Structure 1
Amino acid sequence: MRATNRAWGRGLVALAVLVVTAVGTVATTQASAPKSSGIPTGSVVGTSTGTLPDWFPPAWAGDRVRFDLDAHGNPMRTTGSFRVFHGVGTTDQARAEFEGDITCLTVAGPVAIATGVIRHGYAHFPGMDNPDVTGKKVSFTVLDQGGHDRMYWAWEFAHAPVTDCMGLAPLFQPSHGGFRVRTQG
């Protein structure tokens, strides 16, 4: 099982590197643009919960997750916070629970990419020696489709490279709740 988790982790890292190359270049270009560049401001707000599908590693498939996001701004000026819960199966036992500050937000149409830094929290995942994840970067990508939102995430502590306003394809469809993505300007 450890080999499967490591292989899955390497696959996620390879996918993240590919997305960073494609999306990160755009986000970096946007972040370095002057204020008058017309970069829209926006927001992503909401709560979603769901169960991790079978395509996740067997150790996590069926686990409950919850994401709370409240972010406003653009890549040059962002405010907001996030909170994450990852439970073991259908129990109330937490595999990971953390919260932090959103440090970068990019919004275009119904898509928002928010990255941040964990202010406080822990995670118990295979291969982690220290469960304290304080100070680690995280990334959330949200596709607002009304009642059928999709999202995805990346954790620096899980060996995914996370840079400001970097996101991944929103592969996961939560079963409850949703996000509102808005663009102004």
Structure 2
Amino acid sequence: MHGNDALTTWTAADIKDATRAADAQAMNFRNSRTLTRSLPRIRIRIRTVAIGVVVLSALGLTVGIADAERTPRPGAPEPALTGSAKLFRKTGDDIRFTFDAHGLADQAHGTFRFEHHSATLNVTAEGRIDCLLSGGSVAVATGIITSAEPAQLVGKRVGFTVHDNGTHDRLGYSWAAGGDPATMTVEKCLSSAPIETVESGNLVVAHWEPDL
């Protein structure tokens, strides 16, 4: 410790040494009324400096943590939805979705495919992506079916919602409420909540953040 910059150069050792020195003076001159009266002030000043150092350190740590929390994590350059997955169904239906979608809103591009096979149903469809939005781990995409069985699905827009939740991904689609995709009208980037659970596979949503 040097000069008048005590507040910036006090260390724990300095404070401990100063306190010991004050205690020693009190013991050596305990019969001196003048020193006895001033000793509490010395110790109060020392402890005040110590408290100030601790408070400033705590404030610096708090500010550092807050700044780190406000700093956005690096994100993807554009929204993206990729991967393949099979949905869980108690009935044993084989339902699969595949996506390779990239880009923002109606500038998005890519492909999708879905199929549903059971004892009474065989549907397969492929198409091109025409809209994609993502926020955090959730993406919503739509696309136009370009080939399908049954053929009446061709030319229809369908929507998909994916929640990328690690090993517990979820998925939704525009006909989830019971509608027929062959007769429904779906606007761009609109779909249902991700009500289905994924049994196997992996759906990946790029963590893109808008520049708001």
Category of TM-score, reference length = shorter chain:
0.5 to 0.7
1:144 pairs with 2:181: no
Matching residue of 1:82: 112
**Aligned partner of residue 132 in structure 1, secondary structure:** helix
TM-score (normalised: structure 2) = 0.56
Determine which structure has more spread, i.e. the larger CA radius of gyration.
2
Higher helix share: 2
Q: Which of the numbers 46, 63, 71 marks the counterpart of 2:93?
A: 63
Distance 1:71 1:88 in 2: 27
Q: Larger relative contact order (C-alpha < 8 A, sep ≥ 6)? A: 1
Matching residue of 2:35: none
Structure 1 unaligned residues grouped into runs of 5+:
1-39, 54-60, 124-130
1:135 pairs with 2:165: no
Matching residue of 2:71: none
Distance 2:140 2:186 in 1: 12
TM-score (normalised: structure 1) = 0.64
Percentage of identical aligned residues: 35
Stretches of 4+ aligned residues off by more than 3 angstroms: 158-161
Distance 1:64 1:51 in 2: 8
Structure 2 unaligned residues grouped into runs of 5+:
1-76
Q: Give 1:157's aligned amino acid.
A: P
- Equivalent positions of 1:1-185 (< 5 A) are 41-53=78-90, 61-89=91-119, 95-123=122-150, 131-155=151-175, 157-185=181-209
| Contact 1:117-1:137 at 8 Å conserved across structures | yes
| Contact 2:134-2:208 at 8 Å conserved across structures | no
Displacement, 1:94? Answer: 5.8
Higher strand share: 1
RMSD over aligned Cα atoms: 2.0
Output one character per residue of 1:134-167: Cα deviation in whole Å (capped at 9) or x when no partner: 1011111000000100001124635444110002
